[in-house]
């Protein structure tokens, strides 16, 4: 089965993507009335470069209203391998050095002593505050952060949840 996401417009046109899209023309509620996902799930974002609010779409069709706040989709990524199970490995040193600490379940409080990570399966949502509060960001299978301090992070987040469909 091909991995793709198709936007069906109100003008009966279909636009299909099979690769991640960091910056796409705005798809709004006024131009799209249905999304079809084939194969792996996709994450749609309301900001370019995979930022802002996000929503995870599973295989099948989604009729609008658009699940993204504001109704605009500006970027999207495929979750390679799906989200049936997720795993993230944390390392105590930059560049994945030291013994890995792996998590495959929600963590309401993360240790601040980690300096790098790799998402091995699925998708993980990180939160700026303990107990899943504050701003969040999603990392997907294959994503890596080799050195938190190099990207101006003192830590990736204070808590994390395994991603589920929706958001």
What does the pLDDT average to over 82-107?
Answer: 93
- Closest-CA residue to 122 (of 88, 157, 90, 76): 88
Q: What pLDDT shows up at residue 28?
A: 62
Percent of the chain predicted with pLDDT > 70: 85
pTM of the model: 0.86
Better-predicted residue by pLDDT, 149 or 99: 99
pLDDT band at residue 69, thresholds of 50, 70 and 90? low
What's the confidence (pLDDT) of residue 52?
A: 87
The distance in angstroms from the start CA to the end CA of the chain is 25
Q: What is the pLDDT of residue 5?
A: 92
Q: Please tell me the distance from the alpha carbon of residue 103 to that of residue 20, in angstroms, as a whole number.
A: 26
Which domains does the chain possess? 4-78 (2.60.20.10), 87-162 (2.60.20.10)
């Amino acid at each position: 089965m091909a991995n793709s996401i198709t936007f069906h417009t109100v003008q009966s046109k279909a636009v299909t993507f099979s690769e991640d899209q960091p910056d796409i023309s705005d798809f709004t509620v006024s131009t799209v009335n249905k999304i079809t996902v084939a194969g792996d799930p996709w994450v749609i974002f309301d900001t370019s470069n995979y930022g802002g609010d996000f929503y995870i779409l599973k295989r099948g069709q989604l009729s609008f209203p658009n699940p993204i706040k504001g109704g605009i989709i500006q970027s999207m990524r495929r979750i390679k391998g799906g989200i049936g199970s997720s795993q993230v490995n944390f390392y105590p040193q930059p560049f994945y050095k030291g013994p890995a600490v792996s998590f495959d379940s929600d963590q309401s409080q993360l240790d601040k002593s980690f300096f790098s990570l790799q998402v091995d399966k699925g998708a993980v949502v990180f939160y700026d505050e303990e107990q899943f509060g504050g701003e969040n960001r999603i990392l997907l299978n294959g994503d890596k952060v080799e050195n938190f301090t190099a990207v101006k992070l003192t830590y990736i987040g204070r808590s994390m949840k395994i991603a589920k469909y929706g958001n």
